[in-house]
Amino acid sequence: MRKKKTRHKNQYAVIGLGRFGGSVCRELHNMGHEVMAIDIDQDKVDQYSRFSTHAVQLDSTDERQLHGIGIRNFEHVVVAIGDNIQASILTTLVLKDEGVSQVWVKAQNMYHQKVLDKIGADVVVHPEFDMGKRIAHNIVSDKVIDYIDLSDDYSIIELRASDKIDGETLMSLQLRAKYGITLLAIKDGEAMNISPKPDEPIRTGNILLVIGHNNDLERFEDTEL
């Protein structure tokens, strides 16, 4: 009979305590979650012992060491080893082999990202690349507040409504018919109106959360805002 695994819900482990991994670890800890901080470098482990529930020094490419700390019991493990791509890949393989259900890995470049996708990393993040794209969009248009890539062609963007569309509604703007895009929500200060009704008026300064093809989103932004 297979032994039932004990999953520790909301228990996290972060492997690699550089700037990125360190910041993930601190934030999880600040949010009140149990987080194990892991690094090969004892100085890093000492530094993060105050920002984690446990801090452990080990080499994550060594499956016996990860197995020894019961890594399979963690629901969610973040691999934030950057420079040593081989160590990052080996660690990801060991974690998936151990049966960790959510393995999130920081990629150093596109090749690294492709390999991580192939070997079963659940989420691959590329912080410098993603942030660079978001900042570029913010620089180009002062109407774009935030930007999330869904694929090469589709995105979700947050746009500030100018006085050009003050009083307009979903119906009058015909977002679906004219632009093929969907308004997910209207933010008015702290208030969030999800799936706004067709006759809901948009006011200057409202933040519009819109999903669609990048070309259509750009067309909408240029024409209406």
List residues near ligand ATP by CB under 6 A: 15-21, 38-41, 44, 59-61, 80-84, 87
Q: How far is the CB of 128 from ligand ATP (least distance, A)?
A: 8
Q: How far is the CB of 31 from ligand ATP (least distance, A)?
A: 19
Q: Where are the beta strands (DSSP E) in the chain?
A: 8-15, 34-39, 54-57, 74-79, 102-106, 123-125, 144-149, 154-160, 182-188, 191-194, 207-213
Question: Would you say 68 or 167 has its CB closer to ligand ATP?
Answer: 68
Q: How far is the CB of 33 from ligand ATP (least distance, A)?
A: 20
Contact (CB, 8 A) for 159 and 223: no
Q: How far is the CB of 150 from ligand ATP (least distance, A)?
A: 25
Question: Would you say 69 or 185 has its CB closer to ligand ATP?
Answer: 69
Question: Would you say 3 or 64 has its CB closer to ligand ATP?
Answer: 64
Neighbours of 28 (CB within 10 A): 24
Residue 174 is classified by DSSP as T
Question: Would you say 86 or 223 has its CB closer to ligand ATP?
Answer: 86
* Spatial distance between the Cα atoms of 95 and 133, rounded to a whole number of angstroms: 30
Question: Would you say 19 or 203 has its CB closer to ligand ATP?
Answer: 19
Structure tokens at 198: 């067709």
Task: Give the contacts of 124 (CB within 8 A, at least 6 positions apart).
Answer: 104, 105, 106, 107, 113, 116, 117
Q: How far is the CB of 54 from ligand ATP (least distance, A)?
A: 15
